[in-house]
Amino acid sequence: MSTPLDSPDQGGVATLDRELEELLKEENVEPGDHERFSHYVKKDKILESAITGKPVRALCGKKWTPGRDPEKFPICPTCKEIYESMVG
């Protein structure tokens, strides 16, 4: 009987890493002003991203993987405008 260590390409961490890399490629993380602004994103998506590393999509449409303190940057004007129109 074999163990997962006997066949490293048949599951485990290596498979998860490959799947995550493929997912990130499919997500088309966008370059742009996301480095200069803090964006509005649904709270549950931020938590999901923190756990899985999956990119998030802001109200303005920007897609990236969060990893910095949003308090240190100004709010994205487009996100702010969209948010204010939603809240009334």
Nearest CA-CA partner of 75 in 25, 36, 45, 28: 36
For 1-88, strand residue ranges (E) read 56-57, 63-64
Predicted local confidence at residue 73, as pLDDT = 93
Predicted local confidence at residue 68, as pLDDT = 85
Rounded to two decimals, the pTM is 0.59
Predicted local confidence at residue 33, as pLDDT = 54
Express each pLDDT in 39-68 by its tens digit: 999 989 999 999 999 999 999 999 988 888
